[in-house]
Every structure is written in structure tokens, then in C-alpha cells.
A and B are shown apart, each in its own frame.
Chain A
């Protein structure tokens, strides 16, 4: 699709002619193994950012012997620039519920939980009401499965799956060591599938329309479509569901304000793509992966301020458990401030880059590991703005 426009898709929010409970009823007539094959065949990968193949996750959890298993919907959407899960839960909650129920049947779980970030508490009353009806619906079709809500309390790190389990277990949201992975020992130490809100809706839609239709879209490494949260310097801020596989250039042609100098793909923990790389960078697993956050910056913006904001964010949200991240985030922030003030020479930036790269290998979880993404990409491409 060289230089064509990004293709708009309508899968996630489509509700016309869809009765979620009916779809669950039809789907559970198939064997769990068939459902898993369908998911694997579709090529669906997790839409929260990490991109693990959904079908495999379900398969590993199904293969575990355990009386108790759990399906958890990760609705702790905290990545700066992301707001798609809120839109999805607001507009098509029943499709999310149905995705959870199908997963529950497939892996042999009886309980599903939705962990909703505290910032979205205003959605709770409606979701609880709708869940009562939905759970009754499941009973009527004879599926021994029910779903409940849980809330977060304002910690970004709880979007990390093992921190989320800790939080639901009444503890500090500090990530665990891996392995064991959640498929083996997740919530309460039991085999657990944890999927992002959007992933569960795609899984639901694949169960409904089949993997073939889904596979037709996207590229070999990035099948299907994705919901993007678009903000910053754009006349078209908001939500757009687009086919995967476009370049940043195509994206900017559609959503930019004509003066875009950089796009931050994947939120604070993602990477910054400068104008000179728009054409060659594909948005997807073969290029720059994203949980859907797309922030556009035009030439009036200082990339120093952008980086400073991100580093402040990480310094505040680091759980503090491991040294590379707890101290590293602070030092990166203090470091660029010192260079700006002139207390450190510009050469110090190279030391800071090394520190960020060390954090990538030494930090315990994805938060600390990903600080290098924005740091190195912004510092390398906008060195003058950082120094002067």
C-alpha cells in the first residue's frame, strides 16, 4: 500500500447485527482445541503493546492441569497517549465480556475479572449493571462462567501483568520475576490468561467471522487491524481503527497538521520517529510496535520538553523495586537538566545513553527496560534541542 491512505476498518466498534451472547453460544459448540487453532491461524497478537500471540497464550493455559484458572482483562490503560480501551469499554462492553467468556470456555476457567484503572471509575456503575445481565445470559446458555470487576488505584505499573496480579491480591503493585509466566502461575498462583481489552474484542470477532477474514488484513508479521489513539498536534485527534502495515509517512499524511516533525509511537515507553524516518518506518511488529498511542509533534514543540515529561513520568511511576530503574530514571532526568543548565558538557549525553541501554538489560520489568526507547530515539535524533 505504498503511499496510499491508511485503510479504515470497522471491526471493534461494530455492533449492528451482533448479539454477543449468541456468538458465545455458537462458539462454545466447537471444541476448545478448534477455537485455539482458529486463534493461532488468525495471527492475532496482543494489542496491549507486547504483542504475544493470543492463540498460544490460550493454548499454554489450557494445557495446564488446575481446577482453578482465571481470565483477566487488562483494562489498566495507563500508557500516556492511549485512550482506546476506555472508548471500547464505554461503547461496546458486551463484546469485551463475550471475548472473556470465550477465552474462559477455551482454557477451562470459571471466573473472569476485569481490572479497570481507577481513573476510569466513572465507568464502573454501568459496567457492573451490564455484567449482571451478561452473567445471567451465560447461565442461560449453560456456560459455567461469570465475570466481575476490580479497580486499580492510580498506579501505571499495574498495567504490567504480574504487578496487576499482585495488586488484585492486595499487595503493592511490584512486578514479579519471570518465569513462571502467568499461563503457569498468574493470579493467586493459578494458570491465568491475561489479555488486553482490545485483544479480547478481536478474539471475539475472530470467533464470529473466522480467522480468514482477519488474516486478509495487515502484513505477514502484523495481521489484522488495530485501534489507534491519536493526540498532540493533529486536527484529527481521537480514535481510529486502521489496517496494520502502514508507514509513519502514510499515517502523518492522514493525521498530521502539515508540519509534523516527529511522531512518538507507543506512548512514553515507545520510540520517537523523526521526519527523516517517516517513509521507511512501518507501524507494526516488523517496524515500530505500538499499543496504539500515537502522539504527533510539530516544529513548534521542544523535544527537550517532550523527553523531560516522559522521564518525569517514569521517575514517578517506577515501582522502586529494582535499582537500575529506580535510580536510572532519576539520573536520566537530572542528567538532561544538568546539560541544559550547562552544568554538564554535551558529551555527558553519551554517558546517559549508555545508562539507558544498561537499564534495558538490567531492569526487572518492561517499565525500566523501555525507558531507553524514548531516551535513545529522542536524544539521537534531536541532540541540538536537548543540549541548547
Chain B
């Protein structure tokens, strides 16, 4: 497990021990361990001398700052209109069947969490999904499954 204290130290070195360091810290923790647990939020609040409630309030506002456990790879399929018209339903079904999860759930092996999200800024190349920070535009059901298999084979 990544050392959250270490992350806090690294980020505050760049941004200072001020509140404006909060987003960068939260983002850095999520990047490494995929979600923030209560203990993380408390450590962060101590380091920045903020109340835990303030830190929780900020974290819980943002869709990408997960405060519930997530799988190693977080899949976000765009569900907004242009991708809707381009066939996002098919993609979501294909992923749900492949991973045996429903949207919002994490696979049993904890490798994937499937989420839907709003416009990802690739509307001319929909349907599109993000896996962590990586973009996969112009999806077909077959392509989406193949991409997942590549992730599955990793390590």
C-alpha cells in the first residue's frame, strides 16, 4: 500500500502546506491507490491543519475523487448524447457481460470498476471510454472487450 504520508510530503513540498495544496494531494493519492479512505482524509486534514469535515467535503464533491473502494482500473464510459447516439449502450453491455458486473460495481478480482460519466470531450469519435487516465475513442463492442483483455493480461 502506498504511503499516503509520503505523498502528502511530496506534494506539500511543491505547493506549500496551504489549502490550495488540497486538490493536488487528493488527486495524487487517488492516482496511486484509486480511492481515499477515512484514514487518508484524516491524515491529509492534519497535514494541512484543516478540519476533517472540510477535507471530506471537498473530496466528496468531485466525481474523480473516489471515497469508496475502486478496482485497480477504473473504466468510465461516456453516456452523454453524442456517444449515446453513437451506441454507448452496446459498449456498456459488452463490458458488463465481460466483467460480470453492473455499472457502478467492481469486479470480484478487484481489477476493474465500471462507471458511466458525462461528456469526455471526444464526441466526434464516440463511443469513448477512459481507463484511468487513458482514452479509448471510436469503440465497438469487440474493441472494448479486446482492450479489457489486454488490461487483464497485464501482470
Q: Are A and B associated in one complex?
A: yes
Q: Kindly provide the distance from the CB of B89 to the nearest chain A CB, expressed in whole angstroms.
A: 11
Instruction: Name A283-319 residues within 8 Å CB distance of B.
Output: 295, 297, 301, 305-306, 309-310, 313, 316-317, 319
Asked if residues B123 and A229 are in contact (CB atoms below 8 Å), the reply is yes
- B19, B27, B81, B135: which contacts A309 (Cβ < 8 A)? B81
A187 to B, closest residue via Cβ: B20
What's the Cα separation between A310 and B80 when bound, in Å?
A: 8
Asked if residues A156 and B118 are in contact (CB atoms below 8 Å), the reply is yes
Asked if residues A170 and B20 are in contact (CB atoms below 8 Å), the reply is yes
Interface residues as binary, B121-138 with A (CB distance below 8 Å gives 1, 0 otherwise): 111111000100111000
Interface residues as binary, B34-76 with A (CB distance below 8 Å gives 1, 0 otherwise): 0000000000000010000000011001111100000000000
* In the complex, chain B residues whose CB is within 8 Å of the CB of A229: 123-124
A interface residues, tally (CB under 8 Å)? 51
Q: Kindly provide the distance from the CB of A128 to the nearest chain B CB, expressed in whole angstroms.
A: 12
What's the Cα separation between A286 and B74 when bound, in Å?
A: 44
What's the Cα separation between A208 and B85 when bound, in Å?
A: 41
Most buried by B among A121, A150, A154, A170: A170
Asked if residues A231 and B121 are in contact (CB atoms below 8 Å), the reply is no
Given contacts A122-B134, A153-B26, A156-B118, contact A306 B61 (CB under 8 A): no
A234 to B, closest residue via Cβ: B124
Number of residue pairs spanning A and B whose beta carbons lie under 8 angstroms apart = 122
* In the complex, chain B residues whose CB is within 8 Å of the CB of A86: 121-122
- The interface size bin for chain B is 35 or more
Q: Kindly provide the distance from the CB of A227 to the nearest chain B CB, expressed in whole angstroms.
A: 13
Given contacts A173-B61, A238-B124, contact A309 B133 (CB under 8 A): no
- B19, B27, B82: which contacts A81 (Cβ < 8 A)? B82
Asked if residues A231 and B126 are in contact (CB atoms below 8 Å), the reply is yes
Q: Kindly provide the distance from the CB of B81 to the nearest chain A CB, expressed in whole angstroms.
A: 5
* In the complex, chain A residues whose CB is within 8 Å of the CB of B61: 155, 172-174, 319
B18 to A, closest residue via Cβ: A170
What's the Cα separation between A317 and B85 when bound, in Å?
A: 21
Asked if residues B82 and A295 are in contact (CB atoms below 8 Å), the reply is yes
A interface: dominant SS: mixed
Q: Kindly provide the distance from the CB of A111 to the nearest chain B CB, expressed in whole angstroms.
A: 12
A236 to B, closest residue via Cβ: B124
Given contacts A169-B20, A170-B19, contact A151 B27 (CB under 8 A): yes
* In the complex, chain B residues whose CB is within 8 Å of the CB of A319: 61
Interface residues as binary, B110-153 with A (CB distance below 8 Å gives 1, 0 otherwise): 00000001111111111000100111000000000000000000
What's the Cα separation between A232 and B81 when bound, in Å?
A: 8
What's the Cα separation between A77 and B118 when bound, in Å?
A: 12
* In the complex, chain B residues whose CB is within 8 Å of the CB of A150: 23-24
- Is A79 interfacial (CB 8 A cutoff)? yes
Beyond known contacts A78-B121, A79-B119, A232-B85: 13 more, CB 8 A cutoff: A80-B82, A81-B119, A82-B121, A83-B121, A120-B121, A153-B26, A155-B61, A169-B19, A170-B18, A172-B61, A232-B82, A268-B81, A305-B84
